[in-house]
């Protein structure tokens, strides 16, 4: 098992399959296309599959594929099929901005994918463009509807930011009430590549709850079912559920069970830390599975207690979110 010095058992792995993206969310990417990594630096599907097999052997049972935008990686469904087939995994899921979801849904479903998180920050086209610097809201909504109808489990993640989210409260309430899909609001973390994060742009989880109570109605807390950092709330008078991920105001480091693999094959035991192991070089120089497993164990053992976003004085990570894998 992957246990760190603080007794945290690591069972969850996030794998970034690309640093490329078809949106330019203001809180994540610069407006101009950044220098992406060379294709040769990005792990192949076979390398990722091998890594997942090794990690599963160490007790990882929950794998989420992310990016950049994972669906811009050619034929991602072939990788999903390989990951779904790895023994020992209980959950395999995908995080996407949803732009290409509708086009690829059937092949992803046929590959065995059953769970998708769609990131969606606004429900009117003007605000969607404000957040993502690109058009495409209707494509995302079509992707969500088709994902539900094909039988995928769908969740929505939404950034919580001043000047954006406070105007989306009623629309998100209507969406979750209509579809039953949970909508989770994630506090804006200091990870953006333009370094334009400031506390004033954050909308705290507590404020989001107040806005829902004021504009929509009474909420009650839902008992936690899993190790997710989100706290969910349901409306007492109707269907629908919202969640809060208070990554900045109440960091969940003490229960963090996540490990990350970047698209260029670097381990990361914490979003806010540094790269903590060069898996790509090991793989490409003929290392055995045992050596790679040791590297993973060492990364977990060396994981720090927390990232310190609660005192807002910590150092930013050396990579932005699109390059780590959110």
**Positions that interact with ligand SF4 (CB under 6 A):** 21, 23-25, 28-29, 67-69, 97, 119, 321-322
3-state secondary structure of 64: strand
Q: Minimal CA–CA distance to 178: which of 121, 127, 235, 243?
A: 235
Taking CB within 5 to 8 Å according to partner kind, which of ligand SF4, ligand SAM, none is near residue 188? ligand SAM
Cα 159 from Cα 226, distance rounded (Å): 21
- Is the alpha carbon torsion for 315, 69, 203, 208 positive or negative? negative
Per partner kind, with CB cut-offs from 5 to 8 A, the member of ligand SF4, ligand SAM, none near residue 172 is: none
For ligand SAM, the closer CB: 54 or 259 = 259
CA pseudo-torsion sign 175, 181, 182, 185: negative
Min separation Cβ 138 and ligand SF4, Å:
16
- DSSP state for residue 115 in the 8-state scheme: E
Contact 55, 73 (CB under 8 A): no
Instruction: Select from ligand SF4, ligand SAM, none the partner in contact with residue 29, using the beta carbon and a kind-dependent cut-off of 5 to 8 Å.
Output: ligand SF4
Which residues are near ligand SAM by CB under 6 A?
A: 21, 27-28, 66-67, 69, 95-97, 119, 157, 159, 186, 188-189, 191-192, 321-322, 326
Q: Which residues are annotated as a binding site?
A: 14, 21, 25, 27-28, 64, 68, 95, 119, 155, 189, 253, 256, 258-260, 270
Measured CA to CA, the distance from residue 237 to residue 224 in angstroms comes to 20
Nearest CB to ligand SAM, comparing residues 37 and 298: 37
CB of 131 to ligand SF4, least distance (A): 8
Query: Rounded distance, CA 185 to CA 162, Å?
Result: 12
**Closest separation between CB of residue 115 and ligand SF4, Å?**
18
116 binds, among ligand SF4, ligand SAM, none (CB under 5 to 8 A by kind): none
Closest distance of CB 219 from ligand SF4, Å: 27
Q: What is the 3-state secondary structure (H, E, C) of 226-254?
A: CCCCCEEEEECCCCCEEEEECCCCCCCHH
| Number of C-beta neighbours around residue 179 at 10 A | 16
Measured at the CA of 51, the angle between CA 47 and CA 53, to 5 degrees, comes to: 115
DSSP 146: H
**Can you tell me the distance from the alpha carbon of 324 to that of 66, in angstroms, rounded to the nearest whole number?**
9
Q: Which is nearer to ligand SF4, 230 or 299 (CB)?
A: 230
Residue ranges of the binding site for S-adenosyl-L-methionine: 27, 68, 119, 189
Q: State the binding partner of 164 from ligand SF4, ligand SAM, none, CB within 5 to 8 A by kind.
A: none
* Pick 58 or 122: Cβ nearer ligand SAM: 122
As a whole number of angstroms, the distance between CA 23 and CA 38 comes to 19
Looking at the Cβ atoms of 136 and 240, the one nearer to ligand SF4 is 136
Please, what is the minimum distance in Å from the beta carbon of residue 153 to ligand SF4? 20
């Amino acid at each position: 098992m992957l246990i760190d010095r603080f007794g945290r058992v690591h069972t969850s792995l996030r794998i970034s399959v690309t640093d490329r993206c078809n949106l330019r969310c203001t809180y994540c990417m610069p407006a101009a296309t950044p220098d992406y990594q060379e294709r040769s630096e990005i792990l192949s599907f076979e390398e990722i599959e091998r890594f997942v097999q090794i990690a599963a052997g160490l007790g990882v049972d929950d794998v989420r594929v992310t990016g950049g935008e994972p669906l811009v990686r050619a034929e991602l469904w072939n990788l999903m099929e390989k990951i779904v087939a790895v023994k020992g995994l209980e959950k395999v899921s995908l995080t996407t901005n949803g732009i290409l979801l509708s086009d690829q849904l059937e092949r992803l479903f046929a590959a065995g994918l059953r769970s998708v998180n769609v990131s969606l920050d606004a429900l009117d086209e003007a605000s969607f463009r404000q957040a993502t610097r690109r058009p495409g809201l209707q494509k995302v909504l079509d992707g969500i509807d088709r994902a539900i109808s094909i039988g995928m489990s769908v969740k929505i993640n939404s950034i919580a930011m001043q000047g954006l989210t406070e105007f989306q409260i009623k629309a998100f309430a209507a969406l979750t009430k209509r579809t039953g899909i949970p909508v989770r609001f994630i506090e804006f973390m200091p990870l953006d590549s333009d370094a334009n994060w400031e506390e004033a742009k954050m909308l705290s989880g507590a404020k989001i709850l107040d806005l829902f109570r004021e504009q929509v109605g009474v909420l009650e807390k839902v008992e936690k079912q899993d190790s997710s950092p989100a706290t969910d709330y349901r409306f007492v008078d109707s269907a629908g559920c919202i969640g809060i991920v208070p990554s900045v105001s109440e960091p969940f480091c003490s229960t963090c069970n996540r490990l990350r693999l970047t698209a260029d094959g670097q381990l990361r035991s914490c979003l806010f830390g540094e790269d903590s192991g060069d898996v790509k070089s090991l793989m490409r120089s003929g290392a055995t599975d045992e050596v790679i497993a040791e590297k993973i164990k060492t990364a977990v053992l060396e994981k720090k207690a927390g990232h310190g976003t609660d005192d807002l004085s910590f150092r930013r990570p050396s990579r932005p979110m699109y390059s780590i894998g959110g």
